[in-house]
Amino acid sequence: MADSLVLTPTRSSDVSVYARHNPSCRNTSERKLKDCCCPKWLYVKATQERRSARTIYWKVAEQEAQKIRDSFDPVKRELDELRKTKARDIVLIEDAIDGWLANKKADNARSETLESYSNSLRHMRDYFANNRIYHLHDITPAGLAGWKTTWPDKAISSKKKRRIHAKAFFRFSIDAMHWLADDPSTGLTKIIGKEEVPTIPFERDQYAAVIDATYVYDESLTAYNKESQCHECGRRLRAFIQTMRWGGLGVRDAALLQRSRLSTDDLLKVRRTKTGTWVTVLLPHLVAEDLRNVPAGKATHADYFFWSGKSTGRSTVGNWNRSLDRLWKLVKWPNGTGPIDGDGNPVKPHSHMFRNTFAKEFLEAEQGDIYDLAELLGHTSVKTTEKHYKAFVPARAKRLNEKVLASFAAQGAPGYATPRKPMRGSSAQVKKALPFR
């Protein structure tokens, strides 16, 4: 017999603990049964179910059996539910958010990701606090639907991200921590639509006008005692813009750039904040010199070009974007017209257009292809690069035009089609031969 089944006396007839002995086991007698190291099993009389206790120790198996016995006891079951309900009632929204963020940090989530999570959930916390709701179990689907109407996000992608963060938080609260019995995030209905962000670069004369505006930037500051608030702001802003334009960096990568990332031979090595990939790009010598010699701001840390090293990345980017918003008003656009989209409509300039300019100028110079550009921009997939920048590949446009030209004759285009011979015969015969109209 491969193994023997031994039933043993238990303290309750509801659930029995027994051992499935190996053939070599010497502790099969009732006296030595609890010294046995064979797998322990449970028999549930009410359902006639046999299940593994997932242990070789009798004491541990008995504890599992007792949990099952308690689950059949209506009084104990009700008390357990009351304890869980009381535990849920005392969980504050603030504490739950802190617990979730700490868990994400333990999962090695990047600091930028944690900051994004925190921004979404702090906004939720403040909304419910304004409505005098402080405990997690008091959040309802209707309450979350109301919170959704106050989101400051304008972009569809930002709304989708905020919804994902909230749903992940409530899944953690239910599945991992058992703080909630039901999921209130059903009130966060799906965000509909797909956001198409046009890829618009600066033209060369437009970029030159932006640089010119940095020379009058200091004069435009009307704040009280402006000299003590900002030292050579225009010069700092000019170095910041040139770093994005000639390094292909996003605003966050440029704002948090460390001085150690610029080598003596003008090579800039940066780990992209968004993708975590390393990028190495060569800066023009004069641009690199301007960056090395950029004057320190009021709170700039010695290890960084533009950052204090203390504030969050989000707030730092916000400060630079506000400086750029002030700069756009000073730019004297060529012909009085700023950037326009593909339909000829004017668009508001933004910091990412410097990165777009880097990509456009690189491709139009025809010194590299879309794969080289993907590496320079730090894209993890070349499909991302193609999605945004393939329209700027001159060779591709030329190749497409050649294919269209070759197809003109087959399409019967005017001036390319072979002329038809005139039809002979009476007018009645000609009309009969013509296709039906």
Residues 66 and 94 placed together within one structural domain of the fold = no
Residues 174 and 273 placed together within one structural domain of the fold = no
Residues 256 and 371 placed together within one structural domain of the fold = yes
Identity at 267, one-letter amino acid code: L
Do 223 and 229 touch, CB atoms closer than 8 A? yes
Asked if residue 155 belongs to a domain, the reply is yes
Residues 254 and 396 placed together within one structural domain of the fold = yes
Identity at 310, one-letter amino acid code: K
Local confidence band at 180 (pLDDT 50, 70, 90 cut-offs): confident
- End of a domain among 72, 105, 121? 72
- End of a domain among 41, 72, 103? 72
Asked if residue 194 belongs to a domain, the reply is no
16: DSSP letter:
E
Residues 289 and 411 placed together within one structural domain of the fold = yes
Which tens digits make up the pLDDT trace of 31-78? Answer: 887 788 899 999 988 788 898 988 989 889 988 888 888 777 776 666
How many domains are there within the chain? 3
Residues 208 and 161 placed together within one structural domain of the fold = no
Which tens digits make up the pLDDT trace of 278-321? Answer: 999 999 999 999 999 999 888 889 999 999 998 888 889 999 99
Residues 252 and 342 placed together within one structural domain of the fold = yes
Alpha carbons within 13 A on the beta-carbon side of 40 = 22
Q: Tell how many helices (H) and how many strands (E) occur in the chain.
A: 19, 6
Segment (H or E) for 279 = strand 278-282
Asked if residue 79 belongs to a domain, the reply is no
Local confidence band at 102 (pLDDT 50, 70, 90 cut-offs): very high
Supply the range of the domain harboring residue 116. Answer: 88-187
What is the C-alpha to C-alpha distance for residues 414 and 392, in angstroms, rounded to an integer?
30
Nearest CA-CA partner of 350 in 143, 201, 223: 201
Any idea which residue has 């963020």 for tokens?
A: 101
Token pair, residue 323, equals 């400086």
- Give 122's contacts (C-beta < 8 A, 6+ positions apart): 97
Asked if residue 156 belongs to a domain, the reply is yes
Local confidence band at 413 (pLDDT 50, 70, 90 cut-offs): confident
Token pair, residue 233, equals 């702001």
Which tens digits make up the pLDDT trace of 223-251? Answer: 555 555 566 899 999 999 999 999 999 99
Between the CA of residue 241 and those of 199, 247, 355, 393, what are the distances in Å?
Answer: 18, 10, 10, 24
Asked if residue 347 belongs to a domain, the reply is yes
Asked if residue 284 belongs to a domain, the reply is yes
What is the C-alpha to C-alpha distance for residues 306 and 297, in angstroms, rounded to an integer?
7
Residues 377 and 431 placed together within one structural domain of the fold = yes
Residues 276 and 394 placed together within one structural domain of the fold = yes
- End of a domain among 45, 72, 99? 72
Number of residues assigned to the chain: 437
Residues 362 and 417 placed together within one structural domain of the fold = yes
Asked if residue 333 belongs to a domain, the reply is yes
CATH number for position 183: 1.10.150.130
Residues 120 and 41 placed together within one structural domain of the fold = no
